[in-house]
Chain A
Amino acid sequence: KQEVTQIPAALSVPEGENLVLNCSFTDSAIYNLQWFRQDPGKGLTSLLLIQSSQREQTSGRLNASLDKSSGRSTLYIAASQPGDSATYLCAVEPSGGKLIFGQGTELSVKP
């Protein structure tokens, strides 16, 4: 049974710091891995999608890596800003259309 774990559960950093969020999964048979952002009272926004054959994806200040063999992914956020404060969710897709989510990392970036 696929399980997704995110560490840490919460993180507070001063503005400008670079930071890394971690995600691990128990079964390497996945189609892809996605990182989402969730703001309070709102839906999820997909940030990055890494196909199983890829090692990383980048978008602006965000970089996500995927190591399928070890069951790990990281989301790197460069030069963090208060506007980055949100909950970040990692999800793997073990079969068509079904995402298994981690419980998220709640990030707070202090001005």
Chain B
Amino acid sequence: DTAVSQTPKYLVTQMGNDKSIKCEQNLGHDTMYWYKQDSKKFLKIMFSYNNKELIINETVPNRFSPKSPDKAHLNLHINSLELGDSAVYFCASSPRAGGEEKLFFGSGTQLSVL
């Protein structure tokens, strides 16, 4: 009964491929996020959705396309993968966007682009 679950945990792929990472939360939260953690462990927000609507888009290349079919799911599709996309991608959720709420994180997807 994991609160925020993302799949796959590991993803190894060749440059130029297209891949997706899925995320689901069973906490009943309205807001979901994608964060990227680079090789230096620096975490940076990529996207945020509130009730299926995009509310934050942090200058991410348009090869990255998030999709939220409902408020419990936020998937990340990446086109034409590049070496620099190698990182750990974390999904997170919170009851609502901003101010008073803790974030709950998934366990991460380690993406390796060869």
Q: Whole-angstrom distance between the alpha carbons of A86 and B80 in the complex?
A: 34
Kindly supply a per-residue 1/0 record for chain A positions 29-48, scoring 1 wherever the CB is within 8 Å of any chain B CB and 0 otherwise: 00110101000011111100
Give the A-B pair count, Cβ closer than 8 A.
Answer: 68
| A28 sits at the interface (CB 8 A) | no
A99 to B99, Cβ gap below 8 A? no
The interface residues of chain A lying within 8 Å CB-to-CB of B45 are 98-99
A32 to B48, Cβ gap below 8 A? no
| B111 sits at the interface (CB 8 A) | no
Chain A residue nearest to B40 in the complex (CB): A103
B108 to A101, Cβ gap below 8 A? no
Shortest Cβ gap from A68 to chain B (Å): 14
Chain B residue nearest to A52 in the complex (CB): B99
Shortest Cβ gap from A108 to chain B (Å): 15
B55 to A96, Cβ gap below 8 A? yes
The interface residues of chain A lying within 8 Å CB-to-CB of B92 are 44
Name which of A45, A46, A93, A97 has the most chain B CB atoms within 10 A of its CB.
A97
Selected from B42, B90, B94, B103, the residue in CB contact (under 8 A) with A103 is B42
B41 to A103, Cβ gap below 8 A? yes
Kindly supply a per-residue 1/0 record for chain B positions 2-45, scoring 1 wherever the CB is within 8 Å of any chain A CB and 0 otherwise: 00100000000000000000000000000101010000111111
Q: Given A42-B107, A96-B55, is A101 in contact with B102 using a C-beta cutoff of 8 Å?
A: no
The interface residues of chain A lying within 8 Å CB-to-CB of B50 are 97
Which residues from chain B sit less than 8 Å from chain A, CB to CB?
4, 31, 33, 35, 40-45, 48, 50, 55-56, 58, 90, 92, 94, 97-108
- 23 A-B pairs with C-beta separation under 8 A: A31-B98, A31-B100, A32-B99, A34-B103, A43-B4, A43-B105, A44-B92, A44-B105, A45-B105, A49-B100, A49-B102, A51-B99, A51-B100, A91-B43, A93-B99, A96-B98, A96-B99, A97-B48, A98-B45, A98-B48, A98-B58, A99-B43, A101-B42
Which residues from chain A sit less than 8 Å from chain B, CB to CB?
31-32, 34, 36, 41-46, 49, 51, 87, 89, 91, 93, 95-99, 101, 103-104
